[in-house]
């Protein structure tokens, strides 16, 4: 008996017990590991199995009706977690690093949304977070790393992209607002996203002046709240890219009103507080004279200037809209230098040398950061300079650069 106990305790060889006796320790351990591995495999497989279940949204809405419900969903409260990925592969240009990083990587976003003027978006990092609050009185940005709360009076309507533009509801509504009423709308296979049996539709963009080829949206057919968005580009012949260049997906969702306390900006203990008239670079640069930008670019008249940001030029209201803002000469020089080191994403734009009022020739230079979706150019003529951006192809941007350069004389 003692020898048998010793063999069991030490995990003796299989078959070392008498017939009908208890199994050896080694066999017990193997069975336990087998069960553990089986359970782990089951847990890992659950998301795959769930995603493969048939999805049948309870809806009789046509794709066009679902699109209309999505565009009218800004009053639907919700909270949740989303991830957005951009594949633009833009180089890191210091003055626009927030934008290039945002559109060339993955953003992890925790969102609370009560209304268009009551929301909070936390961008999560491995070492902290940055929170942007939108309130009826303005905005506030809490930077965990800097321990600083910045109270922002106002940002322009047309501005550089930022994290709170990327959750599916906001991204879908912004993109759809730039499509035309007669753009083709077609159904997409339903998907189960964040617990929602979401119906899908595609808007195929006909405008040849934009790089956006299609906007794919999946939404709750009852509330119209988007839970998934994919953006596809197109080539100069209008052919859609094989895969999306921007993807935004809800991974967790609660369609109820968030706790009002979560929407109130506050600084942590011992943190600093500061105030700023705007948090957007275009907003800072666009607070000058409306005469700083031309009245027409690439055949498109300028939209009425926005109050307090009258130096921002907006040309068109669709996805092919161009934006022009004046730049200080030294900032333009720095940007052009950084763009020239941008590798395959950077290019030089040929611009005719412009004559000055005295009949001389002004030094003219232009370059652009280019991707399959977004373009951002800088042009300098003598001591005047501008930034020009849009979701437009090379040919549209190049014509815009020439028109803006020509307005300097």
Per-residue model confidence (pLDDT) at position 170: 98
Determine contact, residues 179/170, Cβ cutoff 8 Å: no
Q: Which residue has the higher pLDDT, 10 or 305?
A: 305
pLDDT band at 24 (very low <50, low <70, confident <90, very high): low
Cα maximum dimension of the chain: 113
Query: Could you write out the DSSP letters of every residue in 339-395?
Result: HHTSGGGEEE---PPEE-TTS-EE-EEEEEEE-SS-EEEEEEETTEEEEEEES--HH
Q: Is the pLDDT of residue 11 over 70?
A: no
Q: Which residue has the higher pLDDT, 1 or 231?
A: 231
Per-residue model confidence (pLDDT) at position 127: 83
User: How many C-beta atoms lie closer than 10 Å to residue 149's C-beta?
Assistant: 20
Could you give the C-alpha distances from 200 to 49, 108, 176, 220, in angstroms and in order? Answer: 20, 23, 14, 9
What rounded mean pLDDT belongs to the chain? 86
Mean pLDDT of the region 208-216:
98
| Residues forming a β-bridge with 120 | 112, 133
Instruction: Pick the range with the lowest mean pLDDT from 246-260, 326-340, 385-399.
Output: 326-340
At 169-205, the pLDDT tens digits run: 999 999 999 999 999 999 999 999 999 999 999 999 9
Range among 10-19, 46-55, 129-138 with highest mean pLDDT value: 129-138
Mean pLDDT of the region 114-132:
94
Q: Which residue has the higher pLDDT, 166 or 352?
A: 166
Determine contact, residues 157/279, Cβ cutoff 8 Å: no
Which residue, chain included where needed, has tokens 């998934």? 228
Instruction: Pick the range with the lowest mean pLDDT from 33-37, 128-132, 272-276, 366-370.
Output: 33-37
Q: Is the pLDDT of residue 59 over 90?
A: no
Q: Is the pLDDT of residue 48 over 90?
A: no
Q: Which residue has the higher pLDDT, 235 or 44?
A: 235
Q: Does domain 63-275 have CATH number 3.20.20.70?
A: no
Q: How is domain 280-406 classified at the CATH fold level?
A: Protein Transport Mog1p; Chain A (3.40.1000)
In angstroms, the CA 404 to CA 392 distance is: 16
Domain boundaries, the chain: 2-52, 63-275, 280-406
Report which of 100, 106, 61 is spatially closest to residue 251, judged by C-alpha positions: 106
The contacts of residue 171 (CB under 8 Å, 6+ apart) are 84, 165, 226, 229, 246, 248
pLDDT band at 401 (very low <50, low <70, confident <90, very high): very high
Containing 252, the helix (H) or strand (E) segment is strand 246-254
Q: Is the pLDDT of residue 361 over 80?
A: no
Determine contact, residues 114/369, Cβ cutoff 8 Å: no
Q: Is the pLDDT of residue 92 over 90?
A: no
Instruction: Pick the range with the lowest mean pLDDT from 41-55, 235-249, 318-332, 386-400.
Output: 41-55
Determine contact, residues 221/69, Cβ cutoff 8 Å: yes
pTM: 0.84
At 216-229, the pLDDT tens digits run: 999 999 999 999 99
Instruction: Pick the range with the lowest mean pLDDT from 70-74, 117-121, 268-272, 366-370.
Output: 268-272
Q: Is the pLDDT of residue 41 over 70?
A: no
Q: Is the pLDDT of residue 158 over 80?
A: yes
């Amino acid at each position: 008996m003692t020898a048998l106990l010793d063999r069991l305790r030490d995990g003796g060889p299989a078959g070392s017990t008498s017939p009908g006796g208890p199994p050896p320790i080694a066999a017990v351990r193997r069975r336990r590991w087998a069960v553990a591995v089986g359970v782990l495999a089951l847990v890992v497989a659950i998301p795959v199995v769930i995603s493969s279940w048939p999805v049948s949204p309870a809806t009789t809405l046509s794709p066009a009706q679902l699109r209309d419900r999505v565009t009218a969903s800004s009053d639907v409260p919700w909270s949740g977690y989303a991830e957005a990925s951009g594949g633009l592969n833009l180089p890191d240009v210091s003055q626009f690093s927030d934008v290039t990083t945002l559109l060339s990587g993955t953003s992890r976003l925790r969102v609370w949304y009560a209304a268009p003027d009551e929301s909070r978006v936390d961008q999560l990092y491995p070492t902290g977070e940055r929170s942007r609050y939108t309130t009826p009185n303005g905005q506030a940005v809490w930077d965990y790393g800097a321990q600083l709360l910045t109270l922002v009076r106002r940002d322009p309507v047309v501005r550089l992209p930022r994290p709170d533009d990327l959750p599916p509801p906001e991204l879908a509504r912004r993109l759809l607002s730039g499509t035309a009423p007669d753009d083709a709308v077609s159904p997409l296979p339903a998907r189960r996203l964040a617990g929602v049996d979401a119906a899908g539709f595609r808007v195929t963009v006909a405008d040849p002046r934009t790089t956006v080829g299609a906007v794919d949206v999946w939404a709750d057919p009852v509330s119209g709240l988007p839970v998934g968005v994919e953006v596809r580009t197109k080539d100069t012949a209008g052919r859609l890219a094989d895969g999306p260049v921007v993807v935004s997906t809800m991974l967790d969702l609660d369609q109820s009103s968030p706790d009002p306390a979560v929407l109130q900006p506050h600084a942590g203990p011992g943190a600093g507080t500061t105030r700023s008239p705007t948090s957007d670079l275009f907003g800072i640069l666009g607070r000058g004279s409306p005469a700083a930008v031309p009245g027409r670019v690439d055949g498109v008249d300028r939209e009425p200037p926005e109050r307090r940001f009258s130096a921002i030029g907006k040309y068109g209201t669709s996805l092919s809209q161009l934006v022009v803002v004046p730049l200080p000469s030294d900032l333009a020089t720095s940007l052009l230098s950084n763009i020239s080191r941008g590798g395959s994403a950077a290019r030089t734009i040929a611009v005719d040398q412009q004559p000055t009022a005295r009949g001389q020739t002004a030094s003219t230079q232009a370059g652009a950061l280019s991707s399959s979706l977004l373009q951002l150019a800088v042009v300098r003529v003598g001591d005047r300079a501008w930034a020009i951006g849009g979701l437009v192809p090379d040919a549209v941007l190049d014509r815009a650069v020439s028109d803006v350069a020509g307005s300097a004389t």
